[in-house]
Structure 1
Amino acid sequence: MQFKNFGILAFVVALCLGLHFDLPASQTPEQVCIRDFVSEGQLVVVNIATDGSVGDGQVLNLVIRDSVGNEHRRKKDLAGEVRVAFTAPSSAAFDVCLENQLQIKGRSLSRSVELDIESGSQARDWNMIQATEKLKPIEVELRRIEELTDEIVDELNYLKAREERLRDTNESTNRRVRNFSILVIVVLVSLGAWQINYLRNYFKAKHII
């Protein structure tokens, strides 16, 4: 857990993220953002619960957006419980950002925030699935474990592909640096040979040697 100068609190987890923190109100608030990463097509459910009420001297604003540029939810003057669900259009990081605007000068106010982020199989309503498909508890648990295993395999495949891509980039960079170094050496040697030849001809023309 780490607060950065620009007011971003970043967490990267695979499946589920839960936090409880106090967000002070300010007349010039900075956004506090929680970051998570999801794969393409994954279901994401964000649950936010806060204390206080509308009109208590502070305005809590929420925005959820991903690194691709999609905005999934924006809500002003948040109080109580909010549930946001969306399907990730692509593999990307997304931020859940909160800011607390102070409305009454000279007051020291804050909101207590409970934030829970679930994605993939953790975000699905398994009780509804059990009731709809009339599954036994053991069957539901096996389905949940199967989906969780598939997500882990997909994540490992993604990390493997990313490692291969980074490795190819690294090898390409090494080749370019090597070729550039060889070119620089050739140019320097050629320039040195030319200078030696020029100076020898010059001294001969002046009958110095």
Structure 2
Amino acid sequence: MQYLNLSIILALFAQVIRALHFDIPATQHSELVCVRDFVSQGQLVVVNLFAGGAVGDGQKLNLYVRDSVGNEYRNKKDIAGDVRVAFTAQATTSLDICLENLAQLKSASMSRSVELDVETGSEARDWNLISANDKLRPIELELRKIEELTDEIVDELAYLKAREERLRDTNESTNSRVTRFSLLIILVLGALGAWQLNYLRNYFKSKHII
């Protein structure tokens, strides 16, 4: 039970530290403020955002959700209040949640307060609905959460292992190519040196120097 409570505390702590609160000044030109997270292919992602202010207050807050391979999941313009975005990641890559705050009035100095919370995988699931549908007791629900979280950790470790193997193979291939290239350079330099010595010897002989 002690390990169970510790796991629950760690899971809740991981959720807490993912929530961000910051202010975005309004600017005349596009200046993106981005938060990056790592997602796995097929993983559920939920972005919960609360933006202060109101539509038409002289600021235009835009939201862009993209990944590093070029997929764009959401593009919301002129947002305010509560915004919830849910989608499934199409690739294992880094995910960028970007915001820009465009000033509609040139003379005013304004900003928007933003609270951002990104949930992925088991964190993003509606556990209240799952508990109601499957009629789970609280301890069973927590065990289900830990089980899914453990599966995600195992999958991520397997991905990291496969990535390390690919990097190792690339490193070994690069070292092999560098070794062959170095040997080729040594052979070329040796052949060039021998040719120069032979040329100089023939030259000196033709001049009767040696």
TM-score (norm 1): 0.90
Pair 1:184 & 2:185 matched = yes
Aligned equivalent of 2:97: 96
| Secondary structure, aligned partner of 1:183 | helix
Q: Cα distance, 1:15 vs. partner?
A: 11
| Secondary structure, aligned partner of 2:74 | strand
Aligned equivalent of 1:143: 144
Q: Distance in 2 between matches of 1:109 and 1:141?
A: 44
Counterpart of 1:89, as a letter, is Q
Q: Cα distance, 1:16 vs. partner?
A: 7.1
The structure in which a higher percent of residues are helix is 2
Q: Cα distance, 1:206 vs. partner?
A: 2.1
C-alpha distance after superposition, 1:13-71 (max 9, x if no partner): 99972210000001113011111111111100000001100111101011111122221
C-alpha distance after superposition, 1:110-147 (max 9, x if no partner): 00000000000011110000001111111111111000
Q: What 5-or-longer segments of structure 1 have no aligned partner?
A: 1-12
- Percent identity over paired residues: 70
Aligned equivalent of 2:84: 83
Q: Distance in 2 between matches of 1:149 and 1:182?
A: 49
| Secondary structure, aligned partner of 2:73 | strand
Contact residue 50 and residue 111 of structure 1 kept, 8 A: yes
Counterpart of 1:167, as a letter, is R
Q: Distance in 1 between matches of 2:141 and 2:53?
A: 38
Deviates more, 1:133-142 or 1:119-128: 133-142
| Secondary structure, aligned partner of 1:93 | strand
Query: C-alpha root-mean-square deviation of aligned residues, in Å?
Result: 1.6
**Structure 2 counterparts to residues 188-207 of structure 1, below 5 A:** 188-207=189-208
Moved over 3 A (4+): 13-16
Contact residue 15 and residue 120 of structure 1 kept, 8 A: no
Aligned equivalent of 1:159: 160
